[in-house]
């Protein structure tokens, strides 16, 4: 069964896509790496961010973590401070 998941975007990811949230198709066995691959296809500028992290339900996720239909997904870009 195919569905979709909303991905929250912050900082440079929001700037590059022009959106604060995007909807991505999600299959039953989608992993974080699959989601990133799809986002890079849809928004090639995101591929240039080297330290992009993904949070699933408020926790940093490994690339092989499975994503569920009700999960809260967020892209966390690198931050700098001074």
pTM here is: 0.88
In this predicted structure, the answer to whether residue 79 has a pLDDT above a threshold of 90 is no
From the candidate CATH numbers 3.10.20.30, 3.20.130.10, 3.60.20.10, 3.30.70.1520, the one assigned to the domain spanning 3-76: 3.10.20.30
Residue 56: pLDDT over 80? yes
First to last CA, the chain: 47
Question: pLDDT-based confidence at 2, cuts 50/70/90?
Answer: low
Structural domain boundaries of the chain? 3-76
- CB proximity list for 24: less than 8 A, separation 6 or greater: 4, 5, 6, 7, 35, 38, 39, 42
24 Rama class: left (phi>0) / alpha (psi -120 to 50) / beta: beta
The residues that bridge with 25 in the sheet, in sequence order, are: 4
Q: For residue 46, give both structure tokens.
A: 């995101």
């Amino acid at each position: 069964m195919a569905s979709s998941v909303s991905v929250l975007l912050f900082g440079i990811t929001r700037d590059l896509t022009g959106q604060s949230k995007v909807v991505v198709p999600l299959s039953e066995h989608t992993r974080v790496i699959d989601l990133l691959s799809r986002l890079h296809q849809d928004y090639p500028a995101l591929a240039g961010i080297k330290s992009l992290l993904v949070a699933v339900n408020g926790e940093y996720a490994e690339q092989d973590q499975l994503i569920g239909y009700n999960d809260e997904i967020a892209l966390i870009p690198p931050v700098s401070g001074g």
